[in-house]
Structure 1
Amino acid sequence: MFKKVILAASLALSAGCATVPITGRRTLSLVPESEMNTLAVTQYKQTLTTAKLSTNAAEVAQVRRVGQRIQAAVEQYFRQQGQSSQLDGYAWEFNLIDDPKTVNAWCMPGGKVAVYSGILPLTRDDAGLAVVLGHEISHAVARHGAERMSDQLALQAGTSVLSSALSQNPTVTKNLFMQAVGAGSQVGLLKFSRNQESEADHLGLIFMAMAGYNPAAALPFWQRMAAQSQSSTPEFLSDHPADATRIADIQRLLPEAQKYYKPR
């Protein structure tokens, strides 16, 4: 294990890095974004093939309406920063999965979004849904999945060349990818770190505000999630704890996010 830690440290020094938008945090990036996007296309198609897509026209329209407004805000932000190339390879999709027992949503690299119908009673309206989609899309544009996958590859690859590990072990690559992006319902998924969760909250509040949704809606949403966790633990909460620290952090971030908010 010690040798693997040393290897991981060496790789971190020699490998490329990425920078998280808005926060400016530097991250380890051993997996090219193009590779992540390719994996996302494959896994997203497989998910939609096995899932039951919602036929509720109003709810499907809501998911796509809110999602596309967040998408436009993200694209606007990167365009204003002169960094539109950061979204190269994005082919946005927004789908609602008919699963009232699953309280969850996620966004794979490349803008592949899935919302489970079980979360809609908690989001309640467009602003509540914007909290969720802003947060999940922020995980993708901050490349948290690539960061998590890079961390795991660095520790698991041993003396193997990482590129070989990706190409020669497709099953391992798939499992690492699904864990890294927080998709699916497998037991034992890697959790986003507190730092990544905080970043996704930070970016998500700004993106939803830029999209014309009041970021203050984040507080009652997370309070509802906290209340829900008293009786059960939705899958969404396994990666996204709705604790007092998170709610306090959101309160601290709101003044900055409000500067971007223009009601529509």
Structure 2
Amino acid sequence: MGCGCAAAAATACTYNEELGRSQLVFVSSGQMAQLASSAWGDLKKQQKVTTDPKYVDRVRRVAPKIITASGGNPSEWEVQVFASKDLNAFALPGGKIGFYTGILDIMDNDAQIAAVMGHEVAHVNYNHSGERYSQQVGSSVAISAAQAAIGTGSRTGQLAMAALGVGAQVGVLLPFSRKHELEADKFGLRYMHRAGYDPNEAIRFWQKMSAQKSGSPPEFLSTHPADATRIAQLEREIALLK
């Protein structure tokens, strides 16, 4: 159950029963939500938010089901679709979900939207961004840096956005760890299954994303690698749902 924390950092090390491991996080959930709110506001200024029902209706049809299945309250989440050819989607602490029209264009059905949304919401629910930010900034400055990063273009601000999964906007890519990816896959599959979607569509989607590797891979694939090992893990998790 130990997480290798130094004594001075013991208060930042907590054991998560669902994950079966300890998490080392030096910033509070409130601070991460503040960072996310700032990043979200910046994104909506920098990126065009579309109201095209072809995209918006699809995402907002799925979102309440996934949020409810994850134990959340849909009324506490904001969902937006950004008009961009980028293959990208994300969820942020504090209840924010963003999808890009580019990734929706390659999704065959609502179940594939649910697969990605469940995965991203799981990253939020299990505080993966808080872990990533703490690891990158370091224990000695994480808390003060979190405050300073809000609403700034500083390096700590860039790392914060990268940790939240929107780092491409500031030129910083920060992939989730393999551990985080497998955890998000596991719980994201549970969310979509609980919401009534076919979890096999998750595999079909990631296989489709893997086919995008030719040339310059999209940001989403750079930070969420879809390889054979991951597909095999998804298959094992799906078998446990039956």
Q: Same fold (TM over 0.5)?
A: yes
Per the alignment, do residues 124 and 18 of structure 1 end up closer, same or farther by CA in structure 2, a change over 3 Å counting? farther
1:233 to 198, 207, 217: 217
Equivalenced residue count is 234
TM-score by length of 1: 0.81
Query: 2:11 corresponds to which residue?
Result: 15
| Aligned-pair CA distance for 1:215 | 0.7
Query: 1:206 corresponds to which residue?
Result: 190
Query: 1:95 corresponds to which residue?
Result: 80
Query: 2:237 corresponds to which residue?
Result: 253
**Matched residue type, 2:57:** A
Q: Could you tell me whether the CA contact under 8 Å between 1:139 and 1:200 is conserved in 2?
A: yes
TM-score by length of 2: 0.88
**Matched residue type, 1:183:** V
- Measured in 2, the distance between the counterparts of 1:178 and 1:217 equals 29
Q: Say which SS state the counterpart of residue 95 (structure 1) adopts.
A: strand
| Aligned-pair CA distance for 1:125 | 0.9
Query: Deviation per CA, 1:46-69, whole angstroms, max 9, x where unpaired?
Result: 211221111311310111111121
Asked if 1:129 corresponds to 2:113, the answer is yes
- Measured in 1, the distance between the counterparts of 2:129 and 2:81 equals 21
Q: Say which SS state the counterpart of residue 256 (structure 1) adopts.
A: helix
Query: Deviation per CA, 1:202-259, whole angstroms, max 9, x where unpaired?
Result: 110001111111111111111111112134411110011111111011011112234x
Query: Percent sequence identity over matched residues?
Result: 38
Asked if 1:59 corresponds to 2:61, the answer is no
Query: Deviation per CA, 1:65-96, whole angstroms, max 9, x where unpaired?
Result: 111210011116xxxxxxxxxx9xx9311111
For structure 1, which runs of at least 5 residues remain unmatched after alignment?
A: 1-7, 77-86, 259-264
Q: Could you tell me whether the CA contact under 8 Å between 1:134 and 1:203 is conserved in 2?
A: yes
Q: Say which SS state the counterpart of residue 197 (structure 1) adopts.
A: helix
Query: Deviation per CA, 1:21-67, whole angstroms, max 9, x where unpaired?
Result: 63332110110001111111121112112211113113101111111
Asked if 1:38 corresponds to 2:31, the answer is no
| Aligned-pair CA distance for 1:188 | 3.5
Larger Rg: 1
Per the alignment, do residues 18 and 121 of structure 1 end up closer, same or farther by CA in structure 2, a change over 3 Å counting? farther
Over the aligned positions, Cα root-mean-square deviation in angstroms equals 2.3
- Measured in 1, the distance between the counterparts of 2:59 and 2:241 equals 22
Q: Could you tell me whether the CA contact under 8 Å between 1:15 and 1:29 is conserved in 2?
A: no
For structure 2, which runs of at least 5 residues remain unmatched after alignment?
A: none
Q: Could you tell me whether the CA contact under 8 Å between 1:108 and 1:183 is conserved in 2?
A: no
Query: 1:166 corresponds to which residue?
Result: 146
| Of 51-60 and 162-171, the range deviating more from structure 2 | 162-171
| Aligned-pair CA distance for 1:110 | 1.5
